[in-house]
Every structure is written in C-alpha cells, then in structure tokens.
Structure 1
C-alpha cells in the first residue's frame, strides 16, 4: 500500500495525464493542489513509484505516465464516481422519457447517447431475445417459395426469420399454420419453444416445425450495439492500434464475452491488459449491469484509452444503465 504522499502524487500524475495526454514532470506536480513538497522531493517519489510499477518514463528526458497498475490504484482508491451535471442528467432523462418503439432501436440509440456523453466507444448489450415471452406471431408469404415468420416479444423487440415453402403450401395452409403457432406460442418465452401439438395436417405441421426450428436459432443471439467508433479513432495516434481496436469491436462474440466476464467478476472497470484481449491492451472498459425487476438482463459500457476520465465514465454508465433498465421494465 502506498503512503499518503505517494498516493497524492500518483493521483495528481494520473489526473494530469488524463487531461493532457502528455508525460507529467515533477515541477508541474509540485505546484498541484495538496502537494506541499519541493519538485526534488516529487522527483524522488516519482522515481520510487516507477520502481514499484505505478509509473513509467517513456523517454529519458520526458516526464512520467501511469501504467495499468497506476490506473488500477487510482480507480480503486481515488476515483469515486463523479456526478453528472444538471444539464447532462436532464438530457439523459429526456432521452429515455421520449424513447419509444422497438427495443433494438432503443439499444442502438442508447449506444450513440453514451458515445456522445463520454467521447468514447460505447457498448450496449441488451437482454437475450430468448428470455422474453412472445406477444404475437405472424407468417407472411414473400413469394411462392418463401415466407417470413415474425414474432413480437413482450420486451418490445421483434424477431423474424425466413422459411422455405413447398409448391403445395397455399395461402390457406400458411394462414392455418400461423393461427396454430399463435395459439401455442403466445405467452411462451422464445427460448422455451418446443413442438406444438400436431394438427394432423401434414403441410401445416411441417410449416410449424420449420418455423419453430428457425425461431430457436434467432432467439439465441444477443442484442449488441456499439457507437462512437470515430471517438476511438481520435483517441490513439498509432494507426495500427486504431485498426486493431475497431476490428475487435466488430466481433460481436468477443465484445459480449468481454462485457459478461467483467460484470460476472463483480467489476466495473477493466484496465489495459487486465481483460486479456491483446488488441484492446491500450484500452479500458467501464461497465454497469442493466437490471430489470432485480434480474441482470444486459449491460452498458464505454471503451476508450486507459487515460480515460474514469470518474465521469463511471457516473455516466451508472445513470444510463439505471434509466435503460427502467425503460425496458416499462416496456
């Protein structure tokens, strides 16, 4: 554990580097609030912090910058969640009060809202479709050989899948299959689908069976939305870092696994190499669970460089996750 002086100096270095993105020198820190020692003393303490792994000196003549260990100490011991200003809080509240329509659109807009507020990439993982009860079922013929099955879920999301028809499947047959599915599926969770009771009509039963198989597939996926990719691009100077970060954000499975792992470990912040994903080694992720009626149904998070403004990011994801949970609960 660091003593009071080293703690104050490390905190000042982290805050200054977050604000300027420039290596921090001892002279500047000695004039910071609550640092009542000479620059020579600060220089000595910074050298000790470097030897203990909290700071590094990128160039011999440069100041120092925090390491992942330094950021971790800052987050765990010094960075309490900030408070959103009144205008931002009202803006977030107005956003969710005005949000209507499909769940997918709400989650997509929420990712853009988070990105705008934090100037970081935003990740929103919504509730799995399979957990939601079915509100309505429709089968719509697209052509003589294809139809689309559309289910509206109780959480406001809409799932659809395409099925293949045979030449013998006329409109009467399709309508009968639709009515039979609706009778057996409304109120049933999408992830709990099983075969409906056969009608005895071979064509109708075949359409129902194919529809159930395809719905089970689409219901097993996650709603994942990312926003603010341009913010990530501006946060790093190295083109290769930008390319690898953006490529990783495009891989939905990796994003969901990363967010789920952090939340599952009871963490709210993962810094640099802590999350074990090499392309994101220069990034931190701040996350918060989305709770609906006491159940964890999703997560929101922001991803940016390790020098991100942690207090603001923590405050923002907390407010957005809470209001998103309330909005989903209201349907």
Structure 2
C-alpha cells in the first residue's frame, strides 16, 4: 500500500522528533509542528493507521509511538532531506585530510577519527587490500647479539618488520638487503613467485658466504610479510559512545555490544563486503543479533575504480542518517583522492 502524502509527512515528523529526543512521540507534539496544519485527532488516526501498516509501534499503552525498522527504512529511502555540511565543517575536513601523511595506516586511522568526530558515533574502517601495492624495498638492520631486524616497505608507506635470530655482519646485512631489494622492488605481492625467491636464494649464496639456514629464515619472513599485506585490518573509534545513548542503558546490552566491537572477525564480516554507493542497514537487517537496536551505514573508498576498503558508522537506529551519509560521502571522497595520488606517485617511481 502506498502512503498518502499526509501519512508521509506525519511519519517524517515523528521520526525527526524521535531522532532528536529518543522519547515516544505523541500526536500533540506533532500537531505543534509548523506546516502540518493538522489537528491532534487527525494525527492520532493517521498514527494508528501507520502502526497498523507496520511503520510505527507503541512501546507502552499510554505512550506515544516510535518508528519500527520498516518505518526507518521508508524514511531513509523516501523521506529524509539531504544534509548539507557546513562550509566550516567541510573546510576543516579538507584541511585535516590534506595534511601530508605518507603512511597509509595513519591516513586510514585519521579518516576513522574524523568520521567519529563528525557523526559522534562509533566508526569502523577496514584497511586497504594491499596485494596490488608495489613493494619499495627490504632493509636488514644488524641489531647485534645474533639478531637482525628485517623490514619490508611498500610505496604507500606500509611497513612490516620482524626480528630474525641470525648472525650477520653490517656488510653482509647491507649486501643481502641490496640483493633482495633489487629483485622485489617494483613488484606487487602477486608477482613474488617461487622463481623470484629461488633466484634471490641462488644469488645470495653465490655472492655471500651465508649459510642456507640464514637465507631460509629471511626468505620465510619475506613470504609471510608479503602474504600478510593482504590481510584486512580493522580500526575502531569511539566504541564507548554507545554508552551515552538510552538505547544502551541496559548494562547487558551495552556489554554485548562492546564485546561485539572488540571482535575483528565480527567486524570484518559486518562491513567487509563491498556494496555500491552508501549502504544502510537498519536493526534486524543486520545479520548480527547484537545490532538489532543499531544501524550501520557504510561506504567504499577506492583507488581509481577499484574498491580497496570500507568505512562505516554504527549508532542507534534513531541516528541522524542524513548527516552520517553526507559525512561518510565527503570522507570517502577525500580518501579516494589521497590514495589515488599516493598510488599514482608509487607507479611513477
């Protein structure tokens, strides 16, 4: 059944009011809204119809109404007004994101913090899939006492390091670094084949008097480090913000939600699959029971046309959807721009 214009106006007014107050909304409060021009009796009848249609629910007999998941869905799809970010907020966002940071992890963490600050909700960001990232070099640093620090650096500034228990002189460490770097520099993780690694091993054995066991330890690190570049990392900001919302005044619900947000596996499943554009999941539309009182808004960020990660906001179902969507849209555009410049520079080097 299509909703009449009057029912739509009343539903929008109720949801707008509930988003701001978190209190069940009665007909009297709505009748005072400018522009409706409807009596309390008329609004009560329309509210009863909206409840029967599944868009509203009355939590207590004497209480007003609150939106159902279906009510929120209709609101998001058809009723809410586009949020216009202030010039001041846009300038601040542009200024912060434009600060030169060459380390990919810091860029993503910064984006997560900005999203949390703008929306005042919990933010979750996945790290980019880096299997297409170009490897810049490997460095071996002699720490002494039979230990070497091995570091792999990508063109985007991502660093993987590990201490390897081997004995090398400073000269051997420098020469082996050069041999390995010469053969992995400019390659993606996918291009580090067994043949490439075998070539490194053969050349190192020929040029340097290094036992094969030493080479195996270092090359194992290369394998593991490059393989781990494709692992998804999750960054969470402002998780405890849920404690400030009445929806989580129940200690048990709040604890379950906080525990959910601590699970990397849950969060990867929650926002890991790319969707087109902005994706909004409301209450029971989420696959996890812990989010039945929450909504999730996610958006992709890209390098060129390729989706490499996602940024999401988790908040109560009565979140300010328009503001969250506008904020994420602006932030993802900034990330796209920065990553595009980084990867473009990387490919030119």
Same fold at TM > 0.5? yes
- Pairing 1:1-331 to 2, within 5 Å after superposition: 1-142=2-143, 144-165=145-166, 169-195=168-194, 196=197, 197=199, 198-199=201-202, 201=205, 202-203=212-213, 205-235=215-245, 236-261=248-273, 263-264=274-275, 268-331=279-342
| Paired residue secondary structure (1:53) | coil
Paired residues of 1:104 and 1:223 also in contact (CA < 8 A):
no
Alpha-carbon separation, structure 1, partners of 2:331 and 2:276 = 21
Deviates more, 1:187-196 or 1:316-325: 187-196
After TM superposition, give the deviation of residue 21 of structure 1 in Å. Answer: 0.6
Unaligned runs of 5+ in 1: none
Flag the 1:192–1:161 CA change in 2: closer, same or farther, 3 A. farther
Flag the 1:22–1:282 CA change in 2: closer, same or farther, 3 A. same
| Paired residue secondary structure (1:128) | coil
After TM superposition, give the deviation of residue 327 of structure 1 in Å. Answer: 1.3
Paired residues of 2:275 and 2:299 also in contact (CA < 8 A):
no
Flag the 1:329–1:265 CA change in 2: closer, same or farther, 3 A. closer
Alpha-carbon separation, structure 2, partners of 1:98 and 1:265 = 29
Deviations 1:36-85 (A, max 9, x none): 32211211111111122111111110101111111111001112431100
After TM superposition, give the deviation of residue 110 of structure 1 in Å. Answer: 1.6
| Paired residue secondary structure (1:287) | strand
Deviations 1:99-123 (A, max 9, x none): 4241111211221111111110112
Alpha-carbon separation, structure 2, partners of 1:87 and 1:305 = 26
Deviations 1:134-157 (A, max 9, x none): 112112244545433212212222
Paired residues of 1:129 and 1:219 also in contact (CA < 8 A):
yes
Paired residues of 1:136 and 1:152 also in contact (CA < 8 A):
yes
TM-score normalised to structure 2 length = 0.87
TM-score normalised to structure 1 length = 0.92
| Paired residue secondary structure (1:155) | coil
Q: CA RMSD in A?
A: 2.0
